[in-house]
Amino acid sequence: FCHLTLCVQDIARTKFRIKFRLTDTIFSYPLHPYPITSASHRAPACPVETLFLFSQVAVAIKVNKSNPEILQQAKLEIFILEQLRRLDPDAANIVKWNGFFLDRERVCLKFELLDQCLWDYIGDPNNRCLPISEVRPILGQLTNALSHLGSLGIVHADLKPGNIMVVNRYESPVKVRLIDFGLACPASAVMPGDRVGTVGYSAPEVMLGLPYNEACDMWSLGLVAVELGTGLDYRDEVNRLTEWCSVNNLQLNTTKTKELILDFRKGRADPAPLYIHGSCVERVHSMRFLGVQISDDLSWTANTTAVVKRPSSVSTF
């Protein structure tokens, strides 16, 4: 969402009064046509000197800046949202779009109001490292959403916890919906070289500027699954492992496989798994991971046969 100088209690085109902001999303209450004669209630820059009383239904409004580039992006998003209207939002786990309006030169998109994004949900100390009984339905719903997008030939291209909304955090099982189609496009219209999405969640082909399709969304979903199941930020864990290898004169070679890395380090009580792109640090037969395990004291496990550790050398694994 674009940063704007909108204030609480502002009125957009006499249709909505801004009630509060959550991050960059603007939430408001729609207004019904009922004249108010008091001049003190008039809206600034209102084209008609008639105001409207509040209804009790809240909506979310995505307000786009008025510069040409953002306007073009908003038009493309409206095109995608029009395609998604073929789907049942409840059945497809996709946010319900209620059309758009213009506020001066700004394009405003109206959506149903949902509870909180998945980032905020798992940021709650009570929800860190969700149990599999809760992770499974969330991933099932997101897979369902991507399946429906695929049926229309649409790539979301920016799947991450911030673009997944919880309908009601107090419901069990939790229901989620996919939002923000600002970077979405038809798979047939993907331009090789376009680097879209969020660093840390984008698929390798996207980051490398190679041709991509709907499969890139499944890669992003896998990283979301890691965060849900471990309570760990994938990018932070990658940085920690890289730093640990550097300090101990070790070099990661992650070019030979597309599987995620799982790093179990000895000397820890009940260690949590560590995932990064590339090959795996340990061979775990039950989980079908390939690689080598290194303990914190730099001894090698029986899984390796041809590696010799020298105190001052650099070992590649």
Nearest residue to 63 via CA among 18, 108, 100, 4: 108
Helix (H) or strand (E) holding 98: strand 97-103
* Terminal-residue alpha carbon distance, the chain: 42
Rounded to whole angstroms, the Cα distance separating 103 from 112 reads 19
The CA-CA-CA angle for residues 247, 250, 253, to 5°, reads 135
Our measurement of the distance from residue 187's CA atom to the centroid of its chain's CA atoms, rounded to an integer in Å, reads 19
* Residues noted as catalytic: 158
Contact (Cβ atoms closer than 8 angstroms) between residue 146 and residue 214: yes
Rounded to whole angstroms, the Cα distance separating 20 from 23 reads 10
Contact (Cβ atoms closer than 8 angstroms) between residue 165 and residue 115: yes
Sequence-distant (≥ 6) Cβ neighbours of residue 213 within 8 angstroms: 155, 187, 190
